[in-house]
Every structure is written in C-alpha cells, then in structure tokens.
Amino acid sequence: MQPFRPTRRDFLYSSLGAAALAATRPLMAQSWPERPIVFICPWPAGGTADQSMRALCTVAGKVLGQSIVVENRAGASGMIGAKVLASAKPDGYTIGQIPISVTRFAQLGMLAADPRKDFSYIARTSGQTFGIAVRADSPFKTLKDLVDAAKGRPGQVSYAHAGVGGATHVGMEEFAGVAGIRFNAVPYKGGAEALQGVLGGHVDALADSSSWAPHVEAGKLRLLATWGEQRPPRFQNTPTLKELGYNVVVDAPNGIGAPRGVDPAILAKLRAAFKQAVTSPEFKAVTDKIDAPVMYLDGPDYGKYVNTVYQKETVLIDRLKLREMMRG
C-alpha cells in the first residue's frame, strides 16, 4: 500500500476550506443570537440566587433581542449546574451562573472542570450578605457571648450550615480559627433546612446568607454579626466580624459565564448586555430586597478574580483540612 502524499490540489482545497470557515465566523457572530439563549441556574427555583438571575436575564434578553430562558440545574452545592455549563456547546446559546465556590470544589474533586481555563467569563454580578444568627430567646446576646461559650465548652456550641465545604461552613470555620475556638458544625442539605434547625431549637446558632433576614425583622432571631466589608443597609445596628476584631470577610460573589471557546465577538455582545443588566434598576430592586451587594466586574477582570480566589482557596483547603472533612 502506497503511503499517502498530499498533492498541491489537496493543500489548495484544505486552505480554501479553512478560509471559508474563518469567513463564516464573523457572519455567525453578526447574526447571533438567532434563537433563545438557555441560562443554567445551579440553584432551586424561587431562591434568592434564582430571583436575581431571572431579573438579569430579563434585562439582558431585551438588550440582545432574544429571550433568555432560565433552566434550574440544582444540586451538589451548585456544582451540577457548573458541570452542565462547562460541558455545553460553546456557541453562545448556553450560558449560566458560576458560583465562586467552583474554585474550592474543583480542588476538592466535586467538579470535573478547571475554573481557571474551562469557562468564558462574562461578568461578576453580586455578592451575598452572610451572618451569624441565634434564636431570640438564646442566652447569646452578642457575638462575644457566643465566643466565650465556645471557649468554655470546646466543640459543644453548635451551629447549622448549608453543607460541608460551602461558603457558610468554610466562613464559620475560618472565623473559629481566627477566634481560637472550636464549634460543633452541623451540616444540613441547604440554607432553608439549616434555618429550620435553629428556629426549632436543635442547634445553637445559624451561619447562612440572608435567609435569617425576615426572621430577624420579625423578632424570632437575633443577628450577632455579618461577614461583609461593611454593614448591610437593612441591618446597620449589627457589627461586622471585622469591626469586632476578627479579620474575616466572606461575600462569595457570583458571576455569569459560558463554556470555554465562545467566539470573542459573541462574548463581547454578552458582556455588554449583562453590564447593562447588572447596572439596571430592575436588578437593583431585587438585590436590595435580598441584601445582595452589587459587585460588578467585566468578564476579563472577573476571570482574573477567579484565578486569585483559586489560589487563596488552595491555602484555605489545607489550613482547614477540608479534604479530611469531606471524607468524614
């Protein structure tokens, strides 16, 4: 059998084919989007993240001239949706929310994707307001009371969180490390269940995002501290961990992205549309309602931020022995 030797004609046809493909890409980008866009939300319908993403998609869809259909793919602390997004076709018709926790869970083996290279980043959107809350009839009137009790009874004062390795668990353990105390961390399947654990008196405290807010305002829970850089507008009377002398800030900002390899021209259109959406009155109305500070970054800057957080998470995973916790 004679070995194949390409002729000049073969080279010519190959070059023409490549040139034709390259010529069609700008045309495809110009006509995009020609049909509705699917938005993967990695959280359940009706939750705070779902509400904010739907508001963004409504505005961005109007800017792009096509509807953006939200598809909820909840589970595994947001990693099921992240995996679906990472493996989608990079044609600009599948985008989604990317929780910043991908930087942690990818390293813990819960996400078969590398957030540093497997996504095309569109925008960072908003953060979350985390806090420590107790029942209104709790003996812990202040955070100092909680810390003193944990020092006196190491490993006995309990707190509810939304799952091992998640932001509420890691944030609380980081605080405990800085405070020199040890809690009894009680994992629940989500923030809603963790909240019920505290309201029902099964655990001493709750570490969660703003699920506690309406119950604090109704007088059922007492908010001891929030975890952001600044006090949230609705809870100006509650100090931050930083104000109380604990150098811990957790805001876990989320963002929007697409699979790796989206045409740069299409990505530019998405970035422009979501920039308008993040700065819109419609989005601000939702973020104000759920105490989610707007933390906009354009796609390239958000990508750099993800890389920085990834490196910090590497250190945090080792310091908190998260791999051992996950196995346990």
Check whether residue 65 and residue 150 sit in a common domain.
no
Same domain for 281 and 226: no
CATH of residue 260's domain is: 3.40.190.150
* CATH code: domain of residue 176: 3.40.190.10
pLDDT computed for residue 6 by the predictor: 59
Q: What mean pLDDT is predicted for residues 174-199?
A: 92
Same domain, 124 and 145: no
Three-class SS of residue 225? strand
* Cα separation, 174 vs 188, whole angstroms: 19
As for how many domains the chain has, the answer is 2
Q: What is the C-alpha separation between 58 and 285, in angstroms, rounded?
A: 13
Of 235, 261, 293, which residue is a domain's last?
A: 235
Q: What is the pLDDT of residues 221-251, one digit of tens each?
A: 999 999 999 999 899 999 999 999 999 999 8
Distance CA 220, CA 207 (A): 16
pTM: 0.81
Stretch 201-205: mean pLDDT, rounded? 97
Mean pLDDT of 269-275: 98
Does 327 have pLDDT greater than 80?
no
Per-residue confidence (pLDDT) for residue 18, from 0 to 100: 53
**Between residues 186 and 8, the one the model is more confident about:** 186
Boundary-marking domain end, from 185, 203, 235 = 235
Instruction: Say yes or no: 164 and 222 in one domain.
Output: yes
Are 256 and 124 contained in the same domain? yes
* Residue 209, domain member (yes or no): yes
Is residue 10 pLDDT above 60, yes or no?
Answer: no
Residues 42 and 121 in one domain: yes
- Judge whether 293 lies within some domain: yes
Q: Is 97 among the domain residues?
A: yes
Per DSSP, 240 falls in state: B
pLDDT in tens, 42-83: 988 887 788 899 999 999 999 999 999 999 998 888 899 999
Residues 168 and 260 in one domain: no
**d(C-alpha 81, C-alpha 39), whole Å:** 10
Q: Answer yes or no: do 144 and 121 share one domain.
A: no
Mean pLDDT over residues 109-136, rounded?
Answer: 95
Which are the contacts of 275, defined by CB distance < 8 A and separation ≥ 6? 123, 296, 298
Question: With 60 as the cut, is the pLDDT of residue 274 above it?
Answer: yes
- Residue 115 and residue 258 in one domain: yes
pLDDT at residue 165 in the model: 85
Encode pLDDT of 282-292 as tens digits.
999 999 888 88
Run of H or E including 206: strand 205-208
Same domain, 124 and 162: no
The answer to whether residue 15 sits within a structural domain is no
Q: What is the 3-state secondary structure (H, E, C) of 144-194?
A: HHHHHHHHHCCCCCEEEECCCCCHHHHHHHHHHHHHCCCCEEEECCCHHHH
Contact 262, 91 (CB under 8 A): yes
Would you say residue 293 has pLDDT above 80? yes
Amino acid at 270: L
Asked if the structure places residue 2 within a domain, the reply is no
Q: Are 325 and 183 in contact (CB under 8 A)?
A: no
pLDDT at 5: 62
Task: State the pLDDT at residue 19.
Answer: 52
Mean pLDDT (the chain, rounded): 90
**Of 116, 122, 157, whose CA–CA distance to 139 is shortest?**
157
Q: What local confidence, expressed as pLDDT, does residue 21 receive?
A: 45
Does residue 121 share a domain with residue 69?
yes
- Domain residues for the domain of 117 are 36-128+252-327
Say yes or no: 123 and 137 in one domain: no
Q: What is d(CA 312, CA 302) in angstroms, rounded to the nearest whole number?
A: 15
Q: pLDDT, tens digit, for every residue of 12-38?
A: 555 555 554 444 556 567 889 999 999
CB-based contact 97:255 (threshold 8 Å) = yes
Strands 294-298, 119-126: parallel, antiparallel or unpaired by DSSP? antiparallel
Is 87 a domain residue? yes
